[in-house]
Amino acid sequence: MNYKKIAKITAVVLVLFVALLAAAPFLLKGKIKNAVLTAINDNVNANVDFNDVDLSLFKSFPSAALTISDFKITTNAPFEKDTLTFIKELHLNMPITALFKSNSESIQITDIKFGDAYVNLISNKEGKTNYDIMKPSDAKDKNKKDAINFAVKSYEITNSHIKYKDEAANISLELKEFNHSGSGDLSTEKSKLDTKSSAKLSFQFDKIKYFEDNELSLDAIIGIDLKTNTYSFLENEANISGLPLIFDGNVIMLDEGQQIDINFKTPTSSFKNFLAVMPKEYAKNLDNVKTEGDFTVIGVIKGMNNDDRIPNFDINIASNNASFKYPDLPKSVENIIIKALIKNETGIIADTYVNLDALNFRIDQDKFESNGTIKNLTTNPLVNAKLKGTINLANISQAYPFKLEQQLAGILKMDIATNFDMEAVEKNNYARIKSSGSMALSNFVYKGEEFKNEFNIKSTAVNFTPQAIVLKEFIASTGKTDMNATGTIQDVIGFVVSNKPLKGNFNLTSNTFSVNDFMSDASAINTETTSTSKAALKIPAFLDCTISASAKTVLYDNLELQNLKGKMYINDEKVTLENVTSSIFGGNIALSGNVSTKENTPTFAMDIGMNTFNIAQSFNKMEVLNALAPIAKIIGGTLNSTLKFSGNLNEDLIPNLGTISGNALAEIQTENIDAKTSPLLNTLASQLKFIDLSKLDLNNIKAFVSFENGKVNVKPFTIKYKDIEINISGSHGFDKTMDYKATFMVPAKYLGAEITSLMAKMSSEDVSKLIVPVTANIGGNFTNPSITTDYKSSVTNLTKQLVDVNKLKGKGTDILSGLLKVPSTNETDTVKNTTTPKVDVTKPKVVVDSLVKNKLKDFLSGNKKKKDTVN
């Protein structure tokens, strides 16, 4: 035998076989892709899209591996914008022989595998579903064989996300990290499917979350009878957040729905089964927890499930005289009694009801007892409950490992009975909300990020009535703040069970109320920049109340207000102030307005009246006033003002000066000016030798300003120094930059000895009427001013004219007297009750300039008249 020849032939055959395996995908890819498209079009009434189809004969040899990438299903109206399913990669296995069948024969699928899938199932309010996409059997060509035949023996789904929402029933269910696999020969009439499942389950009915990311697992062998469409639970064990359950029974798929007959129960009666339902971080050390007593769950689900009804069910949850103690905690919870029943006897979902006959326990000597019922679950839930007992809040964390950021302390006592239906709560029909009893909390201590210091409630007492909850007493303190409150609270039940606003009317008194005590020191961390910033204050959105407040002392930022009284309305994340009065800076303040934190940037709008404020104190301590008139803080005296302004607030609710706009009218009554400390007045005085700015007369000055976008505009107003009137107008920025003009109406006698000597021959009446406007243009900023004046040019001009006048000694002094008269131009200034001469300050000249020139020209040319006066 020629072995070399046989080996050579074998090698050639193997090479040809491998080459065939490598080439086959390219040769058969078109056929497979057509088969996939044909299968989809024949069976699905939806928009199906995928990127590509890949075929490999090596990945799952001896099977062929088909991979469909970016597989996506979107549905038609009314769900055309919703994705039903998206699968990144869908893997299908089939026998290699199936690839070589004719186009009229089906391709057989034996294994299915995919991961990271997203499935979004929706049933809208009209009962239409986005997952009803299979074509009805009568729409198919009965003589045509399916392009793909699913003879699946195994399947696997990994790390997928499934959502289901029933808008009509107000139910939502979500499975995260869903993993499921099964194996068995589903191509036979009868088979057994071995399955393993795990997921994180969230379930919400109406507004109540019954499960949130609870861990769920199920290992089950399911018997399948395709002839009768019966699926039976043969061997199985489920685990819901650590609570073990075993099942038996079956589900029969019928044309009219699913016939269900299932029994389930806890395999053991240990009270650890109850603790296992608690969040995982508290249940992980259950092996060391000492328990006594039992805890059982027994249930039956039986009946038809379809669009018209649900199966009947009867679920009993019970524990009798149980207890538990964690090894690392000093106290135990004892005398635990649980008797609960969840039941439906009609198959109508609205008839489901819950009876909680008892939920009792004891920690040390403190006992707590409760019972209640809930009926009409899906229509108008009717709640009847009683709560009675004493709880030492400090004992809770000493008996059960709650993860509290701060330890609680205080004694809570309650004896409450309540009976209401949810429709009455929603419509504020208080006649159908019946509550009675009392609740008291004493020596409560809380410290958290919301407060700089411990928040202490010395005592609070509440009485429940059908109309409202009466706050009989509330005595509390934190930091420098003490509070004493009484009042009424409405709709607490709506606040607790349906997130409605907490309504109330309160009277609040305080000896000292420090706003700073309620400003959090917590920092908000920006994860992108790792920078920190102070957490912004927010007005609670759930508050809808009126507060009549009275406080002897209120501390806010660096301000101290005395004898504050007024009303606050809190609603929709806004505080509205009404008729708030107080004493501050030696005077009185009245304000109204609002502060809102509803938007990302807080806003405010305020009207403030100030009466006899100490000017220096107020302008030094109030940033807004200092920005409006930085120079005012050097003035000694008092201020009356009305201020209207609005804008944005920064994170600690202080006005952002760059955003505010408004106006103010100020009346000043002053005693003195500290001019030496003002760079502006020092610079101005150095250029105007004739005036001592520390002796300005500012009594009864009225000034009107408007401001917007960081700029303050001052309307013209007049002040006096001796017999010099000073007209001021212009603007400045909150950044302290200035653009002002001050015109000094200067009697000539102040302009130096030379001018005084030139006026020696003039009458005192004429001298008093000779007034020179000197203009100062003020720029730069308040700390480094830039000032230019026409003082020198005005003096030079006047001197020249007086020299010309003196050349006419003895020649018509009556004419000179007339020449030196200043026209009466008094007009009312723009600020009310202020009278000032009307002066053209655009071109600073001596008032008599043109008059002197014209009259001298007439006199020297011999055109003298008998009487020449200027009126």
Mean pLDDT is lowest, of 343-347, 416-420, 553-557, for: 553-557
For residues 252 and 279, which has the higher predicted lDDT (pLDDT)?
252
Q: Which residue has the higher pLDDT, 810 or 422?
A: 422
Phi then psi for residue 136, to 5 deg, are -65, 155
* DSSP percent split of the chain into helix, strand, coil, nearest 5: 20, 50, 30
Closest by CA position to 189, among listed 164, 225, 213: 225
With cut-offs at 50, 70 and 90, classify the pLDDT of residue 509.
very high
Query: Which residue has better confidence, 255 or 867?
Result: 255
Contacts of residue 528, defined as CB under 8 A and 6 or more positions apart, other chains included, come to none
pLDDT range class, residue 845, cuts 50, 70, 90:
very low
Which letter, b or e, does each residue of 516-527 get, where b requires 16 or more Cβ atoms within 10 Å of its Cβ? ebebbeeeeeee
Which of 560, 458, 547 is closest to 509 using CA atoms? 547
Whole-number pLDDT of residue 787 = 87
**Contact residues for 401 (Cβ-Cβ < 8 A; gap 6+):** 282, 326, 328, 329
Q: Which residue has the tokens 């697992």?
A: 217
Q: Which pLDDT belongs to residue 11?
A: 46
Model confidence at 511, in pLDDT bands (50, 70, 90)? very high
Q: Are 247 and 219 in contact (CB under 8 A)?
A: no
The pLDDT value given to residue 280? 58
The predicted pLDDT at position 106 comes to: 64
Higher model confidence: residue 316 or residue 328?
316
Mean of the per-residue pLDDT values of the chain: 77
Q: What is the mean pLDDT of residues 22-41?
A: 58
Q: Which amino acid is at 254?
A: L
Q: Using one digit for the tens of pLDDT, what is the confidence trace for 696-714?
A: 777 777 888 888 877 888 8
User: How many CB atoms neighbour CB 764 within 10 A?
Assistant: 9
Q: Is 321 helix (H, G, I), strand (E, B) or coil?
A: strand
What lies within 8 Å, CB to CB, of 800 at 6+ separation is: none
Q: What separation, in Å, do the N-terminal and C-terminal C-alpha atoms of the chain show?
A: 150
Which are the contacts of 556, defined by CB distance < 8 A and separation ≥ 6? 514, 515, 516
Q: What 3-state DSSP class applies to 389?
A: strand
What residues have CB less than 8 Å from 682, skipping those under 6 apart?
A: 675, 676
Q: How far apart are CA 790 and CA 843, in angstroms?
A: 10
Confidence of residue 448 (pLDDT cuts 50, 70, 90): low
pLDDT value of position 864: 43
pLDDT tens track for 736-768: 888 989 898 888 777 777 677 777 666 666 666
8 Å CB contact between 739 and 750: no
Q: What is the CB-side half-sphere exposure of residue 677 using CA atoms within 13 A?
A: 11
Other Cβ atoms closer than 10 A to 673:
21
- pLDDT exceeds cutoff 60 at 841: no
pLDDT band, residue 17 (cuts 50/70/90):
very low
Structure-token pair, residue 774: 């000197």
DSSP conformation class of 536: P
Higher pLDDT, 551 or 209: 551
The pLDDT of residue 817 is 44
In sequence order, the 6+-apart residues with CB closer than 8 A to the CB of 27 are none
607-633 tens-digit pLDDT: 888 888 777 777 777 777 777 777 776
How far is Cα 610 from Cα 641, in angstroms, rounded to an integer?
5
Asked if pLDDT for residue 566 goes beyond 70, the answer is yes
| Residue scoring higher pLDDT (535 or 374) | 374
Determine the pLDDT at residue 732.
86
- Mean pLDDT across the stretch 545-553? 91
Estimate to the nearest angstrom the gap between the alpha carbon of 369 and the chain centroid.
38
Model confidence pLDDT, tens digit, residues 269-323: 788 878 877 765 555 567 788 889 888 999 999 999 887 888 999 999 999 889 9
Q: Which residue has the tokens 């009792």?
A: 360
Range with the poorest average pLDDT among 559-563, 577-581, 646-650, 665-669: 665-669
Q: If 0-12 CB within 10 Å is exposed, 13-18 middle and 19+ buried, where does residue 863 land? A: exposed
Rounded to 10°, the helix 791-806/849-860 angle is 20
Q: Specify the pLDDT at position 812.
A: 44
* Percent of the chain clearing pLDDT 70 (strictly above): 75
> How is residue 553 written in tokens?
């002392």
Residue type, 422: M
Across 47-55, average pLDDT: 78
Of 28 and 749, more confident = 749
820 versus 107: the higher-pLDDT residue is 107
Dump pLDDT digits (tens) for 352-382.
899 999 999 999 889 999 999 998 877 788 8
Lowest-confidence region among 54-63, 506-515, 717-726, 855-864: 855-864
Vertex 331, ends 327 and 337: CA angle to 5°?
100
* Residue 545, number of CB atoms within 10 A of its CB: 18
pLDDT number for residue 868: 40
- Environment class of 466 (CB within 10 Å of its CB; exposed 0-12, middle 13-18, buried 19+): middle
More confident residue, 77 or 536: 77
Looking at residue 368, what is its pLDDT? 93
Q: Which is nearest to 719 in space by CA: 692, 701, 734? A: 701
* Least confident span in 7-16, 36-45, 436-445: 7-16
Q: Which residue has the higher pLDDT, 753 or 732?
A: 732
How do the domains of the chain map onto residue ranges?
A: 31-169
Residue environment code for 315-328, b if the CB has 16+ CB neighbours within 10 A, otherwise e: bbbbbeebbbbbee
Q: Is the pLDDT of residue 401 over 60?
A: yes
Indicate the pLDDT class of residue 97, thresholds 50, 70 and 90: low
Q: Which of 19-33, 485-499, 684-698, 712-726 has the lowest mean pLDDT?
A: 19-33
Integer Cα distance of 98 and 101 in angstroms? 6
- Range 427-448 average pLDDT: 81
pLDDT for 550 equals 93
**pLDDT for 334:** 92
Rounded to whole angstroms, how far apart are CA atoms 781 and 301?
Answer: 84
Q: Are 426 and 390 contacting, i.e. CB atoms less than 8 angstroms apart?
A: no
pLDDT at site 763: 65
pLDDT of residue 746: 85
Instruction: For 813-824, write each residue's pLDDT tens digit.
Output: 444 444 444 433
pLDDT band for position 493 (cuts 50, 70, 90) = low
* C-alpha to C-alpha distance for 311 and 259, rounded to whole angstroms: 8
Length of the chain measured in residues: 871
Please provide the DSSP assignment of 72-103 as one string. Answer: EEE--TTSTTSEEEEEEEEEEEEEGGGGGS-T
Predicted confidence at residue 283, as pLDDT, reads 53
Residue 489 has pLDDT above 60, yes or no: yes
| pTM of the predicted structure, to 2 decimals | 0.59
pLDDT of residue 361: 93
Q: In this predicted structure, what is the pLDDT of residue 484?
A: 93
Rounded CA separation 823/748 (Å): 16
CA atoms within 13 A of residue 269's CA, in its CB half-sphere: 9
**Contact between residue 54 and residue 36 where contact means Cβ atoms under 8 Å apart:** no
DSSP secondary structure letter of residue 655: B
Rounded CA separation 576/594 (Å): 4
**Is-contact 464 434, C-beta < 8 A?**
no
pLDDT band at 405 (very low <50, low <70, confident <90, very high): low
Pick from 54-63, 112-121, 465-474, 673-682: least confident: 54-63
What is the Cα 372 distance to its own chain's centre?
A: 36
- In the predicted structure, residue 589 carries a pLDDT above the cut 80: yes
The tokens describing 858, both together, are 């007439």
The CA distances from residue 8 to 11, 21, 22, 280, 693, in Å, are: 5, 20, 21, 65, 119
Q: What percent of the chain shows pLDDT beyond 90? A: 14
What pLDDT is attached to residue 316? 94
Q: List pLDDT tens digits, range 203-220.
A: 887 666 777 788 888 888
